[in-house]
Structure 1
Amino acid sequence: MAFSAIFYTSSPSLTLHCKTHRPIFSHAAYFSKSLIVKASSTLDYSKVSVDEKALAPTKTNNWQWKFKDNTINIYYEEHEKYNNDSSKNILMVPTISDVSTVEEWRSVARDIVQRVGKFNWRATIVDWPGLGYSDRPKLEYNADVMEKFLVDFINAPDGPINGLENDLVVFGGGHAATLTIRAAKQGFLKPQAIAAIAPTWAGPLPIVFGRDSSMETRYGLLRGTLRAPAVGWMMYNMLVSNEKAIESQYKSHVYANPENVTPDIIETRYALTKRKGARYAPAAFLTGLLDPVQSREEFLDLFAAMEGKIPVAVLSTEGSPKRSKAEMEALRGAKGVSKFIEIPGALLPQEEYPIKVAEELYRFLQENFDSRA
């Protein structure tokens, strides 16, 4: 999530004038070269949506993630058409941002699970710790913490995915996609396929201002201020937790079409910023602590590590901010990317254009799993 603001703290060395952008998967298939697809259709996807009556999850629950001395309630939803043990499973992981939420994936989940094909698909959507409807303790959030959570959620014997971790497809937006691939490269996860939707790796400030020592010092000061008891809430309320700021962000770069930003979206996202502990994870994201890698070269290396192991689809968006779009474009034809698709949208296409995203993701599933039936 981005914002326009001037940050001032008691330290004169921290003055950031910025307009930042949120930059806010053995059953392997083998590919000798990438397939690049330019998605097109006569449908106006800004006018199409999944039946709202079908959005309610089949099941909602909380899983207790034990991390160090903390027990953190993690919110997740399950969407399925039939209660069928033979269903294949998808984990959908929200884009990391200050208003990250399972809601961004609901329409896509309901579309895919209602489709009739060779497989019945079941979808689980999970909120990150510190974000969405999960607990938001005052942790030292960083990329390693988020990766460990994702690995634990999938692999834990008492977790919702228990027994399915080797028969799982993962769809992730933004940083979530890159964290998933990082975990897969290290062997912590072994999904059957991965789809990266508008993938990113740099937080809002680092992608604009870089990561030299001077800027890292300023990021640290800003992060410390946002986490402080009183002034932290005041700054967070000024920069993030107000409806005008959220609306401006959505209209400028989160959505491609400002007309798709409804009052209901702004109201629900604003409510998320008022949850207890809401500022801690966003403070880490904003200042780059949740970045899975530190450079484009490392970003490309993650995807290259998937070559010959699992199919990876990248859904790049036509209306992403310039810097984020450049990182997505670097994956076009890149090693390890088995399919590159350009779709409408900006940084949150799964929420703005769910039917189009569901259509492309379902086609990806068919291409890689129907032939194995």
Structure 2
Amino acid sequence: MASSCAAFCVSHALAHWKARKALCSVRRPMSIKALSASVDYSTVSVADKPASSSRSNNWLWKFKDNDINIHYEKHESESPDASKDILMVPTISDVSTVEEWRLVAKDIVEQVGKVNWHATIVDWPGLGYSDRLKMDYDADVMEKFLVDFINAPDSPLSHSANDLVVFGGGHAATIVARAAKKGLVKPRAIAAVAPTWAGPLPIVFGRDSNMETRYGLLRGTLRAPALGWMVYNALVSNEKAIQSQYKSHVYANPDNVTPEIVDSRYGLTKRPGARYVPAAFLTGLLDPVKSREEFLELFASLEGKMPVLVMSTEGSPRRSKAEMEALRGAKGVAKFVEVPGALLPQEEYPSIVAEELYRFLQEIFES
């Protein structure tokens, strides 16, 4: 029984990867668009930019009976002027990491303008370089973490919780919007970069009761002590699978997928407990909403409360792209832009993404 269940789960998951790859085969000509007027983005020479520094640290998140070490990075300019804070949250994926945002953070904190920016990048619990405990991860757990990281008295951001800008990629953007709708966090502004809400399997195969049962079987298999590692190694934790993911739908240009990136992500998949969050993400447990209507309603609920930038990407997979495009002109979206890239534009095209994000900050805080 166990072996037949495992065989089914593996074959179903392999079908999923093939389906995702097929969805990415159609590309449109690249265009970069902005629907609202913007202030001038002045070019500053490298010599004129202030030096910046970065450092890594851990924050202890106390969740239920668990003490979880959360990895985060601080990126700061060496300017003595008063500063404002940005929280950058990585896209939730099999290989999510603070590395996705590093070049964007460096670019923004080194800009010379009326506001001096500092950036904090944080790894999700169970991902990146944070602890990976065996827990029942779902969207509520991830939202609770984000709220605590921003609001807890001992948080690295406690001094700026109500004067914070949040940049989130993929599911992270939608989780931020969900927490803001509930009033659990009150950022000054939100930037949703390639926002998503449906996990890899649900966006391809749907969420009817039959499929939910199958997702549960796959999730249980991935979490099993020995069999789970076998299935995880076959589907995720190998260089070929990671390279295939990045070339088919994570990056828009396969030539940008370097051996260094693959090696880095492969190393993340070998960390103890690495399979628990991917098991939840793959099967839709981390989805913050269940439909496009709920997705749009989240952003509509932020109308008049805070400016929201949505950054769509030219090369996203067809179904993910459709969800991003649904936000074009939607209520609650102050600005919509399109940039090159697929599901990880902040890593593949960091200078372009940083320019759009910094322009958004200028429009809000320097106009």
* TM-score (normalizing by structure 2): 0.89
Query: Which residue of the partner structure matches residue 26 of structure 1?
Result: none
The equivalent position to 2:315 in structure 1, one of 315, 319, 329, is 319
Give the number of equivalent residue pairs. 341
Query: Which residue of the partner structure matches residue 36 of structure 1?
Result: 35
Query: Which residue of the partner structure matches residue 10 of structure 1?
Result: 5
Query: Which residue of the partner structure matches residue 41 of structure 2?
Result: none
| C-alpha contact 2:91 2:169 (8 A) present in aligned 1 | yes
Query: In structure 2, what is the Cα distance between the partners aligned to 1:85 and 1:20?
Result: 51
Aligned ranges 1:125-164 → 2 under 5 Å: 125-164=121-160
Query: In structure 2, what is the Cα distance between the partners aligned to 1:331 and 1:113?
Result: 28
Following superposition, the deviation at residue 149 of structure 1 comes to 0.1
Q: Aligned-pair RMSD on alpha carbons?
A: 2.2
| C-alpha contact 2:6 2:218 (8 A) present in aligned 1 | no
Question: Any idea what the Cα deviations from partners look like across 1:318-369, whole Å, max 9, x if unmatched?
Answer: 0000000000000000000000000000000000000000000000000001
- Unaligned 5+ runs, structure 1: 1-7, 24-34, 40-49
Do structure 1's residue 194 and structure 2's residue 193 form an aligned pair? no
Query: In structure 1, what is the Cα distance between the partners aligned to 2:304 and 2:323?
Result: 22
User: Which amino acid in structure 1 is aligned with residue 127 of structure 2?
Assistant: L
| C-alpha contact 1:9 1:225 (8 A) present in aligned 2 | no
User: Which amino acid in structure 2 is aligned with residue 369 of structure 1?
Assistant: F
Query: Which residue of the partner structure matches residue 88 of structure 2?
Result: 92
**Cα 1:68/1:21, change in 2 over 3 Å:** farther
| C-alpha contact 1:57 1:77 (8 A) present in aligned 2 | no
Do structure 1's residue 261 and structure 2's residue 257 form an aligned pair? yes
Query: In structure 2, what is the Cα distance between the partners aligned to 1:76 and 1:188?
Result: 21
SS at match of 2:312: strand
Query: Which residue of the partner structure matches residue 5 of structure 1?
Result: none
| C-alpha contact 2:51 2:110 (8 A) present in aligned 1 | no
Query: Which residue of the partner structure matches residue 277 of structure 1?
Result: 273
SS at match of 1:131: coil
| C-alpha contact 1:20 1:205 (8 A) present in aligned 2 | no
**Cα 1:241/1:86, change in 2 over 3 Å:** same
Question: Any idea what the Cα deviations from partners look like across 1:262-314, whole Å, max 9, x if unmatched?
Answer: 11000000000000000000000000000000000000000000101100000
| C-alpha contact 1:87 1:120 (8 A) present in aligned 2 | yes
| C-alpha contact 1:315 1:342 (8 A) present in aligned 2 | yes
| C-alpha contact 2:52 2:109 (8 A) present in aligned 1 | no
Do structure 1's residue 62 and structure 2's residue 58 form an aligned pair? yes
- Unaligned 5+ runs, structure 2: 24-33, 39-45
Following superposition, the deviation at residue 20 of structure 1 comes to 4.9
User: Which amino acid in structure 1 is aligned with residue 91 of structure 2?
Assistant: T
User: Which amino acid in structure 1 is aligned with residue 232 of structure 2?
Assistant: Y
Following superposition, the deviation at residue 82 of structure 1 comes to 2.1
Query: In structure 1, what is the Cα distance between the partners aligned to 2:281 and 2:230?
Result: 18
Do structure 1's residue 355 and structure 2's residue 354 form an aligned pair? no
Question: Any idea what the Cα deviations from partners look like across 1:208-234, whole Å, max 9, x if unmatched?
Answer: 000000000000000000000000000
Query: Which residue of the partner structure matches residue 175 of structure 1?
Result: 171
Query: Which residue of the partner structure matches residue 232 of structure 1?
Result: 228
| C-alpha contact 1:132 1:272 (8 A) present in aligned 2 | yes
SS at match of 1:294: coil
SS at match of 1:10: helix
Following superposition, the deviation at residue 136 of structure 1 comes to 0.2
Question: Any idea what the Cα deviations from partners look like across 1:155-203, whole Å, max 9, x if unmatched?
Answer: 0001110121001000000000000000000000000000000000000
Query: In structure 1, what is the Cα distance between the partners aligned to 2:6 and 2:106?
Result: 49
Question: Any idea what the Cα deviations from partners look like across 1:11-59, whole Å, max 9, x if unmatched?
Answer: 6875522235499xxxxxxxxxxx72599xxxxxxxxxx9xxx999522
Query: In structure 2, what is the Cα distance between the partners aligned to 1:238 and 1:37?
Result: 46
**Cα 1:70/1:263, change in 2 over 3 Å:** same
**Cα 1:63/1:156, change in 2 over 3 Å:** same
The equivalent position to 1:111 in structure 2, one of 107, 114, 128, is 107
User: Which amino acid in structure 1 is aligned with residue 101 of structure 2?
Assistant: W
Identical aligned residues as a percent: 74
| C-alpha contact 1:64 1:73 (8 A) present in aligned 2 | yes
* TM-score (normalizing by structure 1): 0.88
